[in-house]
Structure 1
């Protein structure tokens, strides 16, 4: 351990965990130590003994020790307090021995602790280079301090223990699809959030580089892909983590040097729709030919017109969602209309499906409060009622009512979606229209129609003359 006083030279280095200091000499004065060795004298030094409770010695390790000059304003408060302490009033309860007993016990305790630390160091087989923590720089010993600061040595020891614990713990690098999917690079220890992201990354890498592979294992816990060529030893293996759904690449084979193909099996409509979803969302007027050329330039893959058409359809589903999910949001849509447009007429009817036991959409009538109020105030009492058939996945009949404003332009009033055009559906629509527009008699109103089925008899029945 470093010394207190005027000793200058090579000393044996100890790593001290706990120690106690006891004053031996009653005369304790602050000494002004010079920078040169000749300026240090025994009269300027105080003498104390130090008991090391737990220390570790480094075998055959010596570091140079030198005394440096310290300014008066750098004195620690603990040292000043110790200088003002009188020796007769000093009392250490931990080492309450007489002077004769202490002279006998102290050397034995130090010798026993030192021998035990040396044996432990010899068992660990520490090298001299590894134990030189300071790299040959001198340890600074302040003569004015009554304690030795071993915080640096303890921090070195604790940091080395923490580093060793970090090395044992597996550390993975997360694969970020929004950034890394453009140029995927695989290596052992790469973590994917779930199984689908790992599969998409491997598929994209195979399509981009024209490598044909097959999935040997594809279950909930393991995934393994091998090159389809029997002479190629490339493979990639990933397994699921124990506490979450993440997959981690465990092992990989050597790089694949097989030739590329321009007709890749993995470049199907599902893969292309996921990869070009954002492009198709921003470019709604792109043609099939333009899309085929773009895929060939970016992925070096040739696709057919049928594949491009199916890609457009699947991308539209990914962008707008499925139609079934949209029907489930109709109740929320009606509530939002009533919240944002008070006094709006919204009426929806459903029927119970016997096979599934769930409600299915039947009819919907909407008349906005602003349009209703504007028609009553500024439009003439002339309305036109018409119907059209809905095509595509949303089958049904659309019933509409429009008016004429002061500029002789079309003014929308109300609309409804029904299951079929018949007298029953027209009667249901005209009754709501009569209530919203406050139609009391036919004499003061002009109703224009295209002679729809059952509309004339329904108006005469609902609206009196």
Structure 2
């Protein structure tokens, strides 16, 4: 039961001792903890850090996520790491439920945390999850795969589909098809190309910054404007810092 893990955390934080009676549910444990924390610090629940915790999420009752999107990403990653396929229910705003696609009884419920946009896990049932490993996991869709391997595809845009498929199997114990690999790769490359385009759009600002921060420097950009309603096409850029000019003139 999640109750046992969370009771240990609550007891360490001096929120009171909880009975191990089978009649005490996870939700009751959480509600008592919330009441106790209101009397003390009011904010002393474990918080999920997207930067450090996302690769291997430890989902427990009481855990607070900064947003609903971060919560969904974390629960999806958790299910993939545990080898089962996840489905989200359509809920009211501020309430997010998900369950194992095999309907084994595993489910998780979260909702807004004290009137903020943060989301807190309120209950988890049938933990640990006991279904056999799902090697064809639809939770690992093309969008998810593209984000997981974005850096690898940035370093090697010509990475072959077979190599990509083997990497997915090795890292997540999931089998994907060639069409899945192709879609994920295309999505990742589109993201990478978009990032490059964004950098080009900032070149004029970069030139202006050089000349304002480094007096005497020269920086200009040459571009062709094909049409009024389209962004200019980059041709070339010239930069000479003031120290270089002084060195050439000496």
Q: Equivalents in 2 of 1:163, 1:333: separation in Å?
A: 50
User: Is the CA contact (8 Å cut-off) linking 1:227 and 1:234 kept in structure 2?
Assistant: yes
Change (3 A) 1:321 1:259: same
Q: Equivalents in 2 of 1:252, 1:245: separation in Å?
A: 21
What is the match of residue 126 of structure 2?
Answer: 254
Q: Of the candidates 271, 276, 283, which is equivalent to residue 149 of structure 2? A: 276
Q: Equivalents in 2 of 1:366, 1:294: separation in Å?
A: 38
- Deviation of the 1:298 alpha carbon: 2.1
What is the match of residue 295 of structure 1?
Answer: 168
Counterparts of residues 56-455 of structure 1 (less than 5 Å): 165-166=39-40, 169=42, 171-218=44-91, 220-230=93-103, 232-255=104-127, 256-282=129-155, 286-319=159-192, 321-322=194-195, 325-326=198-199, 328-336=201-209, 342-348=217-223, 352-353=228-229, 360-362=230-232, 366=236, 368=238
Q: Equivalents in 1 of 2:44, 2:73: separation in Å?
A: 23
- Deviation of the 1:196 alpha carbon: 1.6
What is the match of residue 244 of structure 2?
Answer: none
What is the match of residue 23 of structure 2?
Answer: none
For structure 1, which runs of at least 5 residues remain unmatched after alignment? 1-161, 354-359, 371-376, 378-465
Change (3 A) 1:364 1:314: closer
User: Is the CA contact (8 Å cut-off) linking 2:88 and 2:97 kept in structure 1?
Assistant: yes
**Secondary structure at 1:306 match in 2:** helix
Q: Equivalents in 1 of 2:65, 2:211: separation in Å?
A: 44
**Secondary structure at 1:315 match in 2:** helix
**Secondary structure at 1:173 match in 2:** coil
Superposed CA offset, 1:16-36 (max 9, x none): xxxxxxxxxxxxxxxxxxxxx
- Deviation of the 1:311 alpha carbon: 2.5
Change (3 A) 1:343 1:212: closer
- Deviation of the 1:334 alpha carbon: 4.1
- Deviation of the 1:250 alpha carbon: 0.9
More helix by share: 2
- Deviation of the 1:189 alpha carbon: 0.5
For structure 2, which runs of at least 5 residues remain unmatched after alignment? 1-35, 241-247
More strand by share: 1
Larger radius of gyration, structure 1 or 2? 1
Q: Equivalents in 2 of 1:272, 1:364: separation in Å?
A: 32
Q: Equivalents in 2 of 1:163, 1:226: separation in Å?
A: 29
Change (3 A) 1:238 1:330: same
Q: Equivalents in 2 of 1:264, 1:369: separation in Å?
A: 51
Q: Equivalents in 2 of 1:310, 1:235: separation in Å?
A: 30
User: Is the CA contact (8 Å cut-off) linking 1:190 and 1:249 kept in structure 2?
Assistant: yes
Superposed CA offset, 1:34-85 (max 9, x none): xxxxxxxxxxxxxxxxxxxxxxxxxxxxxxxxxxxxxxxxxxxxxxxxxxxx
Change (3 A) 1:165 1:242: closer
Aligned-CA RMSD value: 3.5
User: Is the CA contact (8 Å cut-off) linking 1:181 and 1:201 kept in structure 2?
Assistant: yes
- Deviation of the 1:173 alpha carbon: 0.2
Change (3 A) 1:316 1:245: farther
Higher relative contact order (CA 8 A, sep 6+): 2
**Secondary structure at 1:217 match in 2:** coil
Q: Equivalents in 2 of 1:195, 1:319: separation in Å?
A: 25
